[in-house]
């Protein structure tokens, strides 16, 4: 393959791939991608409804003091759900702090998902059992973890894929670029999925990068790249299905950029009105991914009014379970402080544990 041909194969579509207009009608801007079958789209809609209700409930729990912080992903449900649906149980997901809805769609218990944001000492779920890495707060560090694990799985002959969720701000970090380069050189089966929601906390995209799109950052490293309308669930799932298949086939990593928007503030501790125009927020509300998919499925007679009500009722029941779980106080075991410090506890640590255990026994006795 000539350099010119190779370069052309790496370039993303000139405009974001999409199947649906903002009003839910079909458009022919999908660049040859194939729409997922109806049953997967209905399942995506169900999980998006569930995820949005989870997001609202988690936000409310921060106001009640049950969570220390919660970074909402409202408006990004298409990206969150498609990330989970594109993977098999054998694949690994590397989420950020804003990707709790993706974990819900992956099937993790909500109480375990929110443990980290509650301020507990561990991430709540077992990464080796769920094939989900701990939610990453430092920007872009999970991209290196994903690239390294993907390379290791390939060397072991596994057909699994690593999938790293990334925010637009993380693409300015050195770790992101190192991960792209490493993955490309070793053809690691990893997908880097950038959810470009317009802001790195308060820094708008145009002040982060002069590139026409973040997807172009992959080309310089020899990484196949693509961009997609992140509020079009049909397009996001189609593009991610293709990216995962590409990586799984041993053809190397893929970088996908989804153009979406963070409807809520960065976290409950942020005042987004200080740096965002309310008119801009309302413009993006009109592109709501849940409503867009609902309209399309309804128009295609793939979703009935009864289906919608059933999914909403399921979401309410789910939210009630989240409330019950987070409202239950957990009494931590003081001796758990000594766990997971060293693989093999030192003599000093063991002695300290015995001392605390004796003091606890004396108090309780």
Q: What is the pLDDT of residues 135-180, one digit of tens each?
A: 999 999 999 999 999 999 999 999 999 999 999 999 999 999 999 9
Nearest to 260 by CA among 276, 295, 236: 236
Q: What is the pLDDT of residues 247-261, one digit of tens each?
A: 999 999 999 999 999
Q: Tell me if 335 sits within 8 A of 356, measured CB to CB.
A: yes
* Whether 315 and 295 share a structural domain: yes
Domain that holds residue 361: 334-365
Check whether 4 has a pLDDT greater than 70. no
Measured in whole angstroms, the distance separating CA 34 from the mean position of its chain's CA atoms is: 23
* Whether 64 and 127 share a structural domain: yes
Distance CA 36, CA 20 (A): 13
Check whether 6 has a pLDDT greater than 80. no
* Whether 272 and 350 share a structural domain: no
* Whether 259 and 324 share a structural domain: yes
Distance CA 291, CA 25 (A): 12
Cβ neighbours of 3 (radius 10 Å): 7
Helices of type H across the chain? 3-10, 38-63, 77-85, 100-106, 110-113, 115-118, 127-130, 141-155, 174-185, 233-248, 278-285, 289-299, 305-327, 347-364
Specify the number of domains making up the chain.
Answer: 2
* Whether 222 and 89 share a structural domain: yes
Q: What is the pLDDT of residues 27-65, one digit of tens each?
A: 988 889 999 999 999 999 999 999 999 999 999 999 999
Distance CA 27, CA 34 (A): 13
- CA dist 27 → 23, 44, 139, 232, 272 (Å): 11, 20, 35, 11, 33
Q: Tell me if 318 sits within 8 A of 310, measured CB to CB.
A: no
* Whether 347 and 227 share a structural domain: no
The confidence band for 337, taking pLDDT boundaries of 50, 70 and 90, is: confident
* Whether 189 and 244 share a structural domain: yes
* Whether 350 and 277 share a structural domain: no
* Whether 357 and 319 share a structural domain: no
Nearest to 75 by CA among 59, 62, 61, 64: 59
* Whether 199 and 341 share a structural domain: no
Question: 259 CB contacts (<8 Å, ≥6 apart)?
Answer: 16, 196, 213, 227, 228, 229, 230, 231
- Report the chain's C-alpha Rg in angstroms: 22
* Whether 283 and 352 share a structural domain: no
pTM, full prediction = 0.92
Catalytic residues: 262, 266, 275
Q: What is the pLDDT of residues 108-143, one digit of tens each?
A: 999 999 988 888 777 789 999 999 999 999 999 999
| Burial letters 109-141, b for 16+ CB under 10 A, else e | bbbbbbbbbbeeeebbbeeeebbbbbbbeebbb
We report the CATH number of the domain holding residue 294 as 3.40.50.970
Share of the chain above pLDDT 90, in %: 84
Helices of type H across 96-166? 100-106, 110-113, 115-118, 127-130, 141-155
Kindly report the length of the chain: 365
* Whether 89 and 149 share a structural domain: yes
Q: Taking the CA atoms of 223, 228, 230 and 234 in sequence, report the sign of the dihedral they define.
A: negative
């Amino acid at each position: 393959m000539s350099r010119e041909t190779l370069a052309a194969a790496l370039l993303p579509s000139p405009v974001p791939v999409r199947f649906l207009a903002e009003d839910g009608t079909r458009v022919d801007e999908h660049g040859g991608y194939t729409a997922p079958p109806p049953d997967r789209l209905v399942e995506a809609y169900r999980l998006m409804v569930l995820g949005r209700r989870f997001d609202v409930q988690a936000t409310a729990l921060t106001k009640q003091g049950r969570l220390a912080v919660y970074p909402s992903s409202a408006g990004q449900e298409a990206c969150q759900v498609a990330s989970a649906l594109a993977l098999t149980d054998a694949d690994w997901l590397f989420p950020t702090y804003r990707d709790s809805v993706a974990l819900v769609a992956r099937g993790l218990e909500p109480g375990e998902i929110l443990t980290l944001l509650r301020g507990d000492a561990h991430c709540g779920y077992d990464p080796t059992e769920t094939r989900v890495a701990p939610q990453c707060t430092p920007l872009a560090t999970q991209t290196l973890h994903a690239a390294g694990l993907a390379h290791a799985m390939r060397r072991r002959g596994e057909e699994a894929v690593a999938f790293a969720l990334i925010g637009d701000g993380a693409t300015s970090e050195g770790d992101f670029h190192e991960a792209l380069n490493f993955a490309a050189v070793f053809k690691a089966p990893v997908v880097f999925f950038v959810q470009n929601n317009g802001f790195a906390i308060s820094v708008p995209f145009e002040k982060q990068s002069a590139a026409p799109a973040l997807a172009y950052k992959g080309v310089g490293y020899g990484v196949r790249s693509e961009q997609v309308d992140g509020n079009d669930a049909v397009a996001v799932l189609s593009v991610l299905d293709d990216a995962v298949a590409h990586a799984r086939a041993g053809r190397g990593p893929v970088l996908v950029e989804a153009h979406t928007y963070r409807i809520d503030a960065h976290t409950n501790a942020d005042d987004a009105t200080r740096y965002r125009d309310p008119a801009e927020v309302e413009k993006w509300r009109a592109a709501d991914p849940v409503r867009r998919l609902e309209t399309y499925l309804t128009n295609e007679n793939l979703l009935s009014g009864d289906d919608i009500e059933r999914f909403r009722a399921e979401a309410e029941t789910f939210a009630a379970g989240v409330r019950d779980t987070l409202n239950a106080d957990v009494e931590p075991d003081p001796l758990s402080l000594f766990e997971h410090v060293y693989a093999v506890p030192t003599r000093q640590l063991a002695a300290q544990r015995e001392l605390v255990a004796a003091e606890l026994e004396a108090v309780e006795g």
